[in-house]
Chain A
Amino acid sequence: MVGTATETDRAWAVLRQVPDPEVPVLSVCDLGIVRAVHVRGRGVDVVLTPTYSGCPATEVIAQSVHDALAAAGFGPVTLTTRRAPAWTTDWISDEGRRKLRDYGIAPPSGQAAVHDGAVPIRIQVRGVDCPRCGSPDTERLSAFGSTACKALYRCLACREPFEFFKPI
C-alpha cells in the first residue's frame, strides 16, 4: 500500500522539526540532506545524504530522524544513505539561509564555487557579508572552523568575528 499524500506530508513535517546537531537552528530539511521520503502504510523510508565525508554528525542525524519518525507513529523506519549526487550547499533552502544569517552565520551564496582548480591559488570567496551589520567589508581569519562545513571570518566594519558556511 502506498502512503497517502497526507501521510507523506506528515512525515516531511516531522522531518522539518529535526535539527542539525551542529547548527541546531537548521532542520535537516533546511540543510537539504533529506533526499527522498517514501511512506508505505505505516512504514517510511528516508533517503539521507551526508554533507562532508567525515562529518561526525551523520550518525546522530540518522538516529534523530529515526527517533522523530518513530515517535510520530511511523514504523518501521528505514534509512538509506545515498552519496550521489554529492551534497552541495546550493541545496540549503532560502529559509535555511535566512535562519543561518539570523543565527550569526554567513550563509553560502547558493552558487557553489565551480572551478577546475588547475592553478591552486586561493579562491577568494566574494560576497561574504557580515551577518550582524551586513557590511561586505570582511576578511577570512581561518580556512577551517569549528565544524567541517564552516570557516572563520571577521567583519572589518563592526569588528565582530563570525562563521561562514563554506560553499561546496
Chain B
Amino acid sequence: MTAVAESLRLNLTPPVRYVLRWADACLIHAQRLSEWCGHGPVLEEDIALTNMALDLIGQARGLLTLAGQLEGQRFDEDQLAFLREEGDFLNPTLVELPMRRSSAHSPGGDFADTVVRNLLLATWLKQAWQRMASSSDAELAAIAAKALKEARYHQQHAADWVIRLGDGTDESHARMERALARAWPYTAELFAGDTVDEAAAAAGLGPSRAALRDDWLREIDAVLAGATLARPADTPFVSTGTQGVHSEHMGFILAEMQSLQRRYPGGTW
C-alpha cells in the first residue's frame, strides 16, 4: 500500500494570493531554469543559470513562509510548494512555458528563449522588489530588499546575453527575434490589474502589477535597442496563470516537482 499526501485546503485571501503570486513566479521560474543544470551551452552559463535559480528559490522560500503565516493555518514553505494543487499556484503563465525542453506548442531548446525570458522576468522582478522594499509588511519589505540586489545582477547578466546575441550574427539575431516574439504575448499578464493587486496597493502591501509597466518597458526598450531588436507589437491575449488558470505545461512541472513529497509524505533526507 502506498501513502499519498493530501493536498492543502487553503484560505486564499487577497493578501495571501498577492504574496503567493510573487512566491510562485520565483519558484516556477527557478524550476524551469534548473532544467539547464548540466546542459548549459558553456560551463560558465550552466553555473550562471543554476546560481540564478538558487537565488530565486531562496526568494520563493521566504515568500512561501510569509504566505503560510498570512494564510493562518501555519503551513510551511515545503507544504506550500509540494502539496498545493495546480489551481492554487498563482505564477504568471510565462514562467511555466517550456524553455529548454521541446513541447507541442513550443520548440524549446533554444538558448535564445532562456535569455529573453530571463531579461523580461529579472527586469519585472527588480521593479517589483524596488517598490515592495517599502511594504507595510516588515517581512515582505525585508525579503524584497534582499531580492532586489540579486535581481539587479540577474538583469545585468540577461541584458549582456540579449545584447550579445541580438547584436550578433544573422543567425543569432533571427533566433532572438523569434524567441522575443514567442515570449511577448505572455508579458501582458505581468501588468494585468485585478482586485488582488488593487487591495495590496491600497493597503501598502506592495505595488500593483500595472504600476510596474512604464519603468519595465523603459528598461526593456533600452536593452532591445542595444541588441538591435525591435519590440514586438502587443496582442489582445492575456494569460491567466496569476488567476490559477494555467497552461497545459503546469501539470507536468508539478508532477516532477511534487512527486517525491506526494509519494513519501513528509520524507526528508
Kindly specify which of B85-93, B103-111, B138-146, B247-255 makes contact with the partner chain: B138-146
Contact with A along B8-44 (1 / 0, CB 8 A): 0000000000000000000000000000000000001
Total A-B pairs, Cβ < 8 A: 92
The answer, yes or no, to whether B3 is at the interface (CB within 8 Å) is no
Minimum C-beta distance from B77 to chain A (A):
12
Are the C-beta atoms of A166 and B55 separated by less than 8 Å?
no
Kindly specify which of A7-15, A28-36, A47-55, A131-139 makes contact with the partner chain: A47-55
Tell me how many residues of A have a C-beta within 8 Å of chain B.
Answer: 30
Which chain A positions have C-beta within 8 A of B139?
83
Tell me how many residues of B have a C-beta within 8 Å of chain A.
Answer: 37
Task: Kindly state the separation between the CA atoms of A85 and B143 in the bound complex, as whole angstroms.
Answer: 10
Task: Kindly state the separation between the CA atoms of A82 and B147 in the bound complex, as whole angstroms.
Answer: 14
Contact with A along B122-165 (1 / 0, CB 8 A): 01001000000000001101110111011011011101100000
Residue of A nearest to B160 (CB): A122
Which chain A positions have C-beta within 8 A of B222?
119-120
Kindly specify which of A37-45, A60-68, A95-103, A143-151 makes contact with the partner chain: A143-151
Given A86-B142, A120-B123: A142 in contact with B44 (beta carbons within 8 A): yes
Are the C-beta atoms of B48 and A142 separated by less than 8 Å?
yes
Task: Kindly state the separation between the CA atoms of A150 and B222 in the bound complex, as whole angstroms.
Answer: 28
Are the C-beta atoms of B145 and A86 separated by less than 8 Å?
yes
Are the C-beta atoms of A52 and B156 separated by less than 8 Å?
no
Which chain A positions have C-beta within 8 A of B204?
none
Residue of B nearest to A51 (CB): B146
Looking at chain A's contact residues, the main secondary structure is loop
The answer, yes or no, to whether A25 is at the interface (CB within 8 Å) is no
Are the C-beta atoms of A118 and B157 separated by less than 8 Å?
no
Task: Kindly state the separation between the CA atoms of A143 and B47 in the bound complex, as whole angstroms.
Answer: 9
Residue of A nearest to B152 (CB): A117
Q: Which of A81-128 contact B (CB under 8 A)?
A: 82-87, 115, 117-123
Could you list 29 examples of A-B contacts with CB < 8 Å? A53-B61, A53-B62, A54-B55, A54-B56, A54-B58, A55-B54, A83-B142, A83-B143, A84-B138, A84-B141, A84-B145, A86-B149, A87-B146, A117-B219, A118-B219, A120-B223, A122-B160, A142-B48, A143-B44, A143-B48, A143-B160, A144-B44, A144-B47, A144-B48, A144-B157, A145-B47, A148-B51, A148-B54, A148-B55
Q: Which A residues are closer than 8 A to B by beta carbons?
A: 50, 52-56, 82-87, 115, 117-123, 141-146, 148, 152, 166, 168
In order of increasing CB-CB distance, the 7 nearest A-B pairs are A54-B58, A53-B58, A83-B142, A84-B142, A142-B44, A54-B54, A144-B48
